[in-house]
């Protein structure tokens, strides 16, 4: 967008000369012969920059400068004077002038001043807009909802973000535990440093040790290079340990030590490494039960459980389902360049009546899949599941017993329907493959 400049000078030849110079540079120029005329121009339009003659009849340049700043404090003002003096210059700068030049005016010098002034203000404006944009990203977009539970979660995120306290996020698979960790990080003073995520359940003890603490060259077979661990990389930022309940007793001891000292050794090394990190963990299983079974250290549990955020399953906040469904509809229809406008009433009724064992992740996958296979401009009931909505309704109605019984039955159902294709079953359930493997092991499921 072209910048607008107002030239105010009582000498016609000066006005016309300046107008000609700056129009050739591509600016939009208007002129005024005195202060009153200039103020009238400001009442009719806005200007990015004003060039004011210091000495004019009726109203001086300094007086006009003050009035312009009252009207538009963002307007850049440059004063032109034939009699420069230090006191006058100081006063002009105090009153908000960007700079001043002396007559006779050097066109190149004035043009450079104007160009630099406009670029400086443009940069400040962009920085301000960027800051507003960054602040608007403090809550990840998927973490949406108007239910009392979600409002409480978001308020809690903003509260705990200000501290450096360790946070434990609890909730079933697919409820958005990693999103909560990212939201805490993005609202904290550490937001300009990285947040490092480690899925502890996906790695063996030896691999997890190397992943967390790094290793020295030659520490073990295949260690051809020195490698930094996640705790070291997270220096200044946040480290998020998902599925914390799956770590071994040895790793628990190592983790306890690093939480207490913020110091550790790389695998195979003697050098003590320090890291300033914030720790957030997540679990989808009750650690208290693991403590009773002597599988999880009580002292580590107390270190990790300083602040707890418990995410409700989607079935306990069903009023958020339409909001989430429409959010995912907009997200994926834009990504796939499809012109979808809504979820049909029958499809939405089905979603509201379904229990979503895979929680928000399962809902997201369901909507994405429906957009892929759907033919019309809205999601219909038959688009919601490749397995058929009637089967899903029957399962929802027959969901009796404990939560674990319901989860086990549903996993068996999905695995059977997909001939034990783990990747496809995990996608339908809305969980990671490693999580499905863990569930299969947990419930002792076997292919018939």
CATH number at residue 183: 3.40.50.300
204: CB partners within 8 A, 6+ apart: none
- Structure confidence at residue 398 as a pLDDT band (50, 70, 90): very low
Q: Determine the pLDDT at residue 234.
A: 94
Average pLDDT over every residue of 152-178: 92
Write the CATH number for 416: 1.10.8.60
Domain that holds residue 255: 148-310
| 143: in domain | no
Q: Which of 47-61, 64-78, 404-418 has the lowest mean pLDDT?
A: 404-418
Q: Above 50 in pLDDT, residue 394?
A: no
- Structure confidence at residue 233 as a pLDDT band (50, 70, 90): very high
* Burial classification of residue 107, based on how many CB atoms lie within 10 Å of its CB (0-12 exposed, 13-18 middle, 19 or more buried): middle
Q: Determine the pLDDT at residue 448.
A: 60
Average pLDDT over every residue of 259-276: 90
- Structure confidence at residue 433 as a pLDDT band (50, 70, 90): confident
Examine the domain organization and report whether 300 and 358 are in the same domain. no
Examine the domain organization and report whether 180 and 272 are in the same domain. yes
| 202: in domain | yes
Average pLDDT over every residue of 279-301: 94
224: CB partners within 8 A, 6+ apart: 217
Q: Above 60 in pLDDT, residue 134?
A: no
Examine the domain organization and report whether 297 and 262 are in the same domain. yes
Q: Above 60 in pLDDT, residue 136?
A: no
Examine the domain organization and report whether 152 and 109 are in the same domain. no
Average pLDDT over the chain, rounded to an integer: 86
Q: Above 80 in pLDDT, residue 143?
A: no
Domain count, the chain: 3
Examine the domain organization and report whether 283 and 376 are in the same domain. no
| 141: in domain | no
Examine the domain organization and report whether 259 and 170 are in the same domain. yes
If one compares 388 and 339, the residue with the highest pLDDT of the two is 339
Q: Determine the pLDDT at residue 299.
A: 94
* Percent above pLDDT 90 for the chain: 44
pLDDT in tens, 44-66: 889 999 999 988 988 999 899 99
Examine the domain organization and report whether 226 and 347 are in the same domain. no
Q: Above 80 in pLDDT, residue 82?
A: no
- Structure confidence at residue 393 as a pLDDT band (50, 70, 90): very low
Examine the domain organization and report whether 45 and 156 are in the same domain. no
- DSSP result, 125-185: HHHHHHHHHHHHTSS-TT----SHHHHHHHHHHHHHHTS---EEEE--TTS-HHHHHHHHH
| 413: in domain | yes
Examine the domain organization and report whether 194 and 79 are in the same domain. no
275: CB partners within 8 A, 6+ apart: 231, 232, 234, 235, 258, 262, 263, 264
Domain-ending residue, one of 99, 134, 169 = 134
Distance CA 144, CA 271 (A): 45
Q: Determine the pLDDT at residue 401.
A: 52
Examine the domain organization and report whether 65 and 83 are in the same domain. yes
Domain-ending residue, one of 275, 310, 345 = 310
Domain-ending residue, one of 289, 310, 331 = 310
Q: Above 50 in pLDDT, residue 179?
A: yes
- Structure confidence at residue 137 as a pLDDT band (50, 70, 90): very low
Contact 5, 114 (CB under 8 A): yes
Distance CA 409, CA 412 (A): 5
Q: Above 90 in pLDDT, residue 404?
A: no
- Structure confidence at residue 140 as a pLDDT band (50, 70, 90): low
Q: Determine the pLDDT at residue 183.
A: 92
Examine the domain organization and report whether 284 and 213 are in the same domain. yes
Write the CATH number for 29: 3.40.50.2300
Q: Determine the pLDDT at residue 49.
A: 94
| 142: in domain | no
The CA dihedral of 350, 356, 362, 367, to the nearest 10 degrees, is: 10
| 218: in domain | yes
| 139: in domain | no
| 140: in domain | no
Examine the domain organization and report whether 369 and 299 are in the same domain. no
Distance CA 244, CA 212 (A): 13
């Amino acid at each position: 967008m072209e910048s607008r400049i107002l030239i105010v000078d009582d000498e016609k030849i000066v006005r016309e000369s300046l107008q000609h110079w700056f129009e050739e540079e591509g600016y939009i120029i208007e002129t005024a012969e005195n202060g009153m005329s200039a103020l009238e121009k400001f009442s009719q339009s806005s200007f990015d920059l004003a060039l004011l003659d210091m000495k004019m009849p009726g109203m001086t340049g300094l007086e006009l400068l003050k009035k312009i700043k009252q009207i538009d404090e963002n307007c850049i003002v440059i004063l032109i004077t034939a009699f420069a003096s230090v006191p006058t210059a100081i006063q002009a700068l105090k009153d908000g002038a960007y700079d001043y030049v002396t007559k006779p005016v050097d066109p190149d010098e004035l043009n450079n001043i104007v160009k630099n002034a406009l670029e400086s203000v443009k940069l400040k404006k962009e920085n301000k807009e960027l800051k507003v944009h960054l602040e608007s990203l403090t809550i990840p977009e998927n973490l949406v909802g108007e239910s009392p539970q979600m409002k409480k979660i978001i308020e809690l995120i903003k509260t705990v973000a200000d501290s450096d306290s360790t946070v434990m996020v609890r909730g079933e698979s697919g409820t958005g535990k990693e999103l909560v960790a990212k939201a805490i990080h993005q609202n904290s003073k550490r937001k300009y440093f990285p947040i490092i995520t480690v899925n502890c359940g996906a790695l063996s003890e030896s691999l997890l040790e190397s992943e967390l603490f790094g290793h020295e060259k030659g520490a073990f077979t295949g260690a051809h290079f020195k490698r930094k661990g996640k705790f070291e990389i997270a220096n200044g930022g946040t480290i998020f340990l998902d599925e914390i309940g799956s770590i071994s007793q040895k790793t628990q001891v190592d983790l306890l030590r690093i939480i207490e000292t913020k110091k550790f050794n790389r695998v195979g090394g003697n050098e003590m490494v320090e890291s300033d990190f914030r720790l957030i963990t997540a679990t989808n299983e009750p650690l208290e039960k693991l403590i009773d079974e002597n599988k999880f250290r009580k002292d580590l549990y107390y270190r990790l459980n300083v602040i707890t955020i418990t995410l409700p399953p989607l079935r306990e906040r069903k009023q958020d389902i339409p909001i989430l469904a429409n959010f995912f509809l907009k997200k994926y229809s834009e990504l796939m360049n499809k012109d979808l406008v809504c979820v049909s009433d029958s499809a939405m009724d089905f979603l509201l009546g379904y229990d979503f064992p895979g929680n928000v992740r399962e809902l997201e996958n369901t909507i994405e899949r429906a957009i892929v296979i759907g033919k019309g401009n809205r999601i219909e009931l038959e688009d919601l599941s490749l397995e058929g909505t009637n089967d899903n309704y029957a399962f929802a109605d027959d969901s009796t017993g404990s939560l674990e019984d319901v989860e086990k039955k549903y996993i068996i159902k999905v695995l059977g329907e997909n001939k034990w294709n783990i990747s496809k079953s995990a996608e339908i359930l809305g969980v990671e493959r490693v999580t499905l493997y863990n569930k299969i092991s947990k419930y002792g499921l076997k292919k018939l």
